[in-house]
Structure 1
Amino acid sequence: MPTYSYHCESCGKTFNVVQSLAEHIKEKPPCPKCGGKSVAWVPGPVQVITGKKT
């Protein structure tokens, strides 16, 4: 499962959450520090793994 980073706009804490893609699209998690609902997703690096060998 992917790990997504979020930033709380209320307290400034950045935190990671393990979510499925469906959960990530559906709703944002509350901040674990202050419980705030005003969080923004922080895009991170993308790693693509394929089955082909070059």
Structure 2
Amino acid sequence: RANLRLGGLRVLTASGVTSGIDGALYLVGALVSDDCADEVARKMCHQWKKGVVVDGTDV
């Protein structure tokens, strides 16, 4: 399932603490579900900025 959602993406990078949290939530969303990632973000009191930029393309 994750392979399909990640579209073959094998490396996930982020710079900085907040974008690292966003990247981790993206991974939770891909491996489990977006609802789970939303719940984790809510419990962390973190406003999740969804969306990933790969080579200048938002996916």
Q: Report which of the two has the higher share of strand.
A: 1
Q: Which one scores higher on RCO, CA 8 angstroms, separation ≥ 6? A: 1
TM over 0.5: no
Q: Report which of the two has the higher share of helix.
A: 2
TM-score by length of structure 1 reads 0.31
TM-score by length of structure 2 reads 0.30
